[in-house]
Amino acid sequence: MKLPGCSYREKASEIFRELAGDRAGQTMAGIPAAQGVIKEALAGEFPPEVASEIAIHLTDWNRDAAFIVALTLFPERFTQDEIRRGVEQFLIHAPNHIVAAAKLGGWPVEDIFEVGALDGRVDA
């Protein structure tokens, strides 16, 4: 089923197919293989359930990351609307996963740019 407004994802997927061939699907769908190698790499440092949660948080937004990479490589292939939609989806989805992974890993989450990033408000 095609979601409305997801042409930016289709373009990102096309770009990755051109660049990575058969492996392109790993950027556009759930990637249990990547989760497995992350869990394995973290196994000596974290309990299995924490390593698993970190792996999930680091891979759940892979489609959003793929869009940003594709946009960085080929900005001319995206319309202004696709860029707005892709950026919005990234900003909605990725930050909380990144913060969760950092906290689970024992890393501090700080507002180093002093923009009120941790105050829970959406206004600047």
Long-range contacts of the stretch 101-110 (C-beta < 8 A, 24+): 101/53, 101/54, 101/57, 101/58, 104/46, 104/50, 104/53, 104/54, 104/57, 105/46, 105/54
How do residues 72-89 score in pLDDT, each as one tens digit?
999 999 999 999 999 999
Q: Is 21 inside any structural domain?
A: no
Q: Is 123 inside any structural domain?
A: no
- Considering its fold, how many domains does the chain have in total? 1
How do residues 15-36 score in pLDDT, each as one tens digit?
888 988 887 777 655 578 889 9
Q: Is 10 inside any structural domain?
A: no
Q: Residue 93: which domain range?
A: 31-104
